[in-house]
Amino acid sequence: MKLSDLLVEIPHADLMGDGDVPIASLCYDSRLAEPGSLFVAIPGARTDGHDYIAQAVRAGASALAVQADRTERWSRLLAESPVPTLVVPDTRAALARFAAALCGYPARRLHVVGVTGTDGKTSLAHLIAHVLETAGRTTGLISTAQCRVGATPLPDTGRFTTPEAPQLQAMLSRMVEAGGRWAVIEATSHGLALHRLDGCEFDIAVVTNVGADHMDFHGGAQEYLAAKGRLFAMLDESAAKDSPKAAVLNADDPSCDYLRGLTTAQAITYGLAPEADVSAARIAPDGWGSSFLLRTPAGETKALITRPGDFNVANALAAAAVGLAAGLEIGTIVRGLASWPGAPGRMELVDEGQPFAVVVDFAHAPDSLRRVLELLRARSRGRLIAVFGCIGERERDRRFAMGQVAARLADYTIVTDDNPCTEDRLSIIEEIAAGLRAGGKREGHDFALVPDRREAIAQALAMAVDEDVVLLAGKGHEREVHLADSSYQCDDRQQAGSILKDLFGAR
């Protein structure tokens, strides 16, 4: 494409210099600039891409995109060494639009489902993808735990659930090339607020719930809710396709009316309350999952979901609502729910023949940890042993609160690493321990502090006896623990499985 072709993507943009320069790729890291690339200067939390324009030009960038309100950072440089430049109101928003254009607008050739919410996004995204695949629809998936089209893996998104727009649009393009017709995207509040999901042309938006999370980034509950709501507003901005848009809303959540008001798309509600469009009755434990009566506008039928708890029943209802919006028969939806293998590291059992249960889950905030512990408490006849930590560089008040949750609901807690990242691992652990102490728990009697996660898992499994439940929380599908200056391998599922084989394999 020519630089001038990209100009039309951004209202109120200005072109400085030669608009005929050819553009073959985008970059927002000056180290990746090369001839044919457009370097987009992104203001970040720690650094500003405008400070790296000179490096991008020296590396051979053919053109630049800069933000209008950062004139003092780029005007002198461009006066000294002119480079064709687009001046835009918001370089993050521009990056997404440029990426979609350079990839040939792949989302316009897909039916795209966006999944947002505070808890359960990953599980619901995987469940929706499975239901669509049960109906024979080739589906791409972009989630925290896995990115794929059909059974073919796509590049890992790294530490970000929602990758930056160039990577995201490239994944959508790969889905189209592989014959995909549907895409399911886990839409985080960060990804929505930072415009990474712009250009995804959503057809169906679905929300799990909206609590309070990432306040360090969003600044307040209303801002967080507004970020989630962006997904629903985008329905009205998306390209018209051969099916109507739909907003799938949780009737049990206070966000329902607010999100409904953000779009003119058809609203479909789901929930445990009977007045929802898609609801459940007669919920009962069934193995590791739950059975229930599925009630929909298309009729009632018995259904089974293969993961436990009312929150997974709610996810099943949300997936059923998405399936109905996608035009699936209710029988196909029910088959998909019953055959779902679960999402990696979400309420996943590790079974090597031991006489107690071991569960791996991604719960890494106070409310999600509470829900999982309450569920396991109700299903346990023995002790409940919890192993968890808390991520660094995020809201510090999570830590004390998670300790308080464990003090109330677990019989024994081992506090360990999550991803301390650049923070001191022992300080994080101590903040969690303060919550346990405030809940009346005593170190050495009710809880232990074991920084190395591998050792913490081994200690928990060694102390478990018949009918106990061991919860390994916070890491889920993740395979590494990131410290300030290093990392170590630790996949909770593999680590637990290996230890259990050593302990019980000969039986």
User: What band does 79 get if pLDDT is binned at 50, 70 and 90?
Assistant: confident
**What is the pLDDT, as a whole number, of residue 305?**
98
Express each pLDDT in 228-271 by its tens digit.
999 999 999 999 999 899 999 999 999 999 999 999 999 999 99
pLDDT above 80 for 357: yes
* Average pLDDT score over residue span 93-100: 97
Q: Give the chain's mean pLDDT.
A: 94
pLDDT above 80 for 396: yes
State both tokens at 270: 């789901």
Express each pLDDT in 116-159 by its tens digit.
999 999 999 999 999 999 999 999 999 999 999 998 998 765 55
Contacts of 379 (CB under 8 A, 6+ apart): 285, 308, 469
143 neighbors 161 (Cβ within 8 angstroms): yes
Compute and round to an integer the Cα radius of gyration of the chain.
Answer: 24
Q: For 269, how many CA atoms within 13 A lie in the half-sphere containing its CB?
A: 17
**What is the pLDDT, as a whole number, of residue 298?**
94
Q: Are strands 278-286 and 266-271 parallel, antiparallel or unpaired?
A: parallel
User: What band does 418 get if pLDDT is binned at 50, 70 and 90?
Assistant: very high
Q: Which residue has the higher pLDDT, 395 or 484?
A: 484
**What is the pLDDT, as a whole number, of residue 337?**
98
Q: What residue type is 231 in one-letter code?
A: L
* Average pLDDT score over residue span 334-349: 97
* Average pLDDT score over residue span 278-282: 98
* Average pLDDT score over residue span 438-467: 98
User: What band does 198 get if pLDDT is binned at 50, 70 and 90?
Assistant: very high
pLDDT above 90 for 78: no
User: What band does 212 get if pLDDT is binned at 50, 70 and 90?
Assistant: low
Count of C-beta atoms within a 10 Å radius of residue 273? 11
**What is the pLDDT, as a whole number, of residue 68?**
95
* Average pLDDT score over residue span 275-298: 97
* Average pLDDT score over residue span 475-496: 96
81 CB-contact burial (10 Å; exposed 0-12 / middle 13-18 / buried 19+): exposed
State both tokens at 308: 């436990």
pLDDT above 60 for 215: no
User: 249 to each of 189, 256, 261, 431, how far by Cα in Å?
Assistant: 17, 6, 11, 36
**What is the pLDDT, as a whole number, of residue 161?**
67
Does the CA dihedral 82-88-90-94 come out positive or negative?
Answer: negative
pLDDT above 70 for 114: yes
Express each pLDDT in 8-18 by its tens digit.
899 889 999 99
Buried residues in 90-100 as b, exposed as e (16+ CB within 10 A):
bbbbbbbbbbb
**What is the pLDDT, as a whole number, of residue 476?**
95
- pTM score of the predicted model: 0.93
pLDDT above 90 for 505: no
SS3 content of the chain, % helix, strand, coil (to 5): 40, 20, 40
Q: Which of 195, 3, 208, 225 is nearest to 122 (CA)?
A: 208
Alpha helix ranges (H) inside 248-349: 256-260, 310-325, 330-339
**What is the pLDDT, as a whole number, of residue 219?**
55
pLDDT above 80 for 71: yes
* Average pLDDT score over residue span 319-327: 98
* Average pLDDT score over residue span 465-477: 97
Geometric angle at alpha carbon 262, from 138 and 170, rounded to 5° = 35
